[in-house]
Structure 1
């Protein structure tokens, strides 16, 4: 049975069951095949999933999927609709890189989201193009969504948007249409296989991005979104393009500054941090992107 067929056959209710039972049912293993796996497991000192993979009766991604189901962990499994490789928390949720994002999520949670504090969104900012803002914003959004709360990723980079490509959303309405006063529908899109995650793409590229984010409509929109979602992560244009990122961060209330190892100049990063100092934005921290 191929991997995609196995995924299509997977039952909806799989909570609180063993990995072996989940794998066996998802792959429609016969009692004889299960016995073969159990014998191989015992003789080689393996886990059930490892033994099933060794015998060619399951694939590695089937084991990861079963593990995610047992621990109630949203996971975009492989197959014909495999997630973009940039989405490491969806494609490789148990990798070291994914764990680094979970550590970052915990640090942000402790710093920004106290029970008594005001609601804040988090803008991901950096001095230059190519620093990794889109990558970081997308994976942080997935990380927060995997806590179970409704999470929205807003692509506010109206100069070079990429989130619609990363999540495979295609063209359509988005943030720019709302801010320009057009009546837009379906601007918030759900993400397949990640039930708590939603994305608002940019939509049509506007000729006046700075003016759009400076309008009162953007501040009102952010307040509304923060009232409807547990977490809001916002992708922004590079500071080298102008004041957009600082304005967006101020409307969000908090920002995570990103620098790229071996590329970002210290002076450029210091300039960006000073720029935030002139706004009510809380700096959640500075992250060095090694990739």
Structure 2
């Protein structure tokens, strides 16, 4: 199999945001041994896949052997940019059509592997609850440092709820101007009902003004703002 192309994000602001996420996951791994994470939206359209891809790429960029798994077996591959050249994947393994090694794709990002969703399944919950799913979790844990599951929105299907019960932690994705407060609370409560380890929310689609307002010093070193502060101090001493 050829390598799948993973687009590179050149935005300093986005990279800064994902660096913070990587730091938090690194701490969780060091303190608690966490390595498997379910990423799911509160509602459809929250941008979960974009977040999962960037998070997995950022972890791989830190030198961790990482695998990104497309766990959405309900959505057609035509709507998934990474699956254009990867029609076989997780569902094919779970239905005993392919071996574990045959569904793992190399990518153009160093340290990052990818497992597509595979054949479209109308109701994949039974597959996600199967012994084969437990087996692949064990095999992934032996092979990778970080395992990122990109799952359908929690309020749209049961899939993420099922996966969250066995993952080390779950992260909800919400988006500015799209996710209602009620949807966020409903999603959190749904995960709480099954004792899933919800560790936080990533807020997607934040505009520049909102990001700067909450991270005033995000470009402190990039724009060498410390030089201006040092100059002001020197001037003050001269006076």
* TM-score normalised according to structure 1 size: 0.64
Residue from 19, 26, 30 that aligns with 1:102: 19
Q: Pick the structure with greater CA Rg.
A: 1
Tell me how large the CA RMSD over aligned residues is: 2.5
Change (3 A) 1:196 1:133: same
Residue from 157, 165, 188 that aligns with 1:273: 188
The answer to whether residue 102 in structure 2 is matched with residue 186 in structure 1 is yes
The answer to whether residue 177 in structure 2 is matched with residue 262 in structure 1 is yes
The answer to whether residue 143 in structure 2 is matched with residue 234 in structure 1 is no
Alignment of 1:42-81 (within 5 A): none
Q: 2:63 — aligned with what? A: 148
How far is the alpha carbon of 1:195 from its aligned partner?
Answer: 1.8
Unaligned runs of 5+ in 1: 1-82
Unaligned runs of 5+ in 2: 207-239
Q: Secondary structure at the match of 1:124?
A: strand
Q: Secondary structure at the match of 1:217?
A: helix
Alignment of 1:4-43 (within 5 A): none
Q: 1:124 — aligned with what? A: 39
**What is the CA deviation profile of residues 222-277 of structure 1, one whole-angstrom value per residue up to 9, with x for unaligned ones?**
12201210111110011233211111112222111111111111111111111111
Q: 1:31 — aligned with what? A: none
**What is the CA deviation profile of residues 59-90 of structure 1, one whole-angstrom value per residue up to 9, with x for unaligned ones?**
xxxxxxxxxxxxxxxxxxxxxxxx66xx4xx2
How far is the alpha carbon of 1:139 from its aligned partner?
Answer: 0.3
**What is the CA deviation profile of residues 199-244 of structure 1, one whole-angstrom value per residue up to 9, with x for unaligned ones?**
0001111122111112222122112201210111110011233211
**What is the CA deviation profile of residues 93-148 of structure 1, one whole-angstrom value per residue up to 9, with x for unaligned ones?**
x62112211112112222x2125x34430110112111010000000000000111
Q: 1:225 — aligned with what? A: 140
Q: Secondary structure at the match of 1:181?
A: coil
- Tell me how far apart the structure 2 counterparts of residues 91 and 236 of structure 1 sit (CA, whole Å): 22
The answer to whether residue 208 in structure 2 is matched with residue 282 in structure 1 is no
C-alpha contact (below 8 Å) 2:74/2:123 kept by paired residues:
no
- Tell me how far apart the structure 1 counterparts of residues 87 and 69 of structure 2 sit (CA, whole Å): 14
C-alpha contact (below 8 Å) 1:173/1:201 kept by paired residues:
yes
The answer to whether residue 89 in structure 2 is matched with residue 174 in structure 1 is yes
How far is the alpha carbon of 1:163 from its aligned partner?
Answer: 10
* TM-score normalised according to structure 2 size: 0.77
Aligned residues: 203
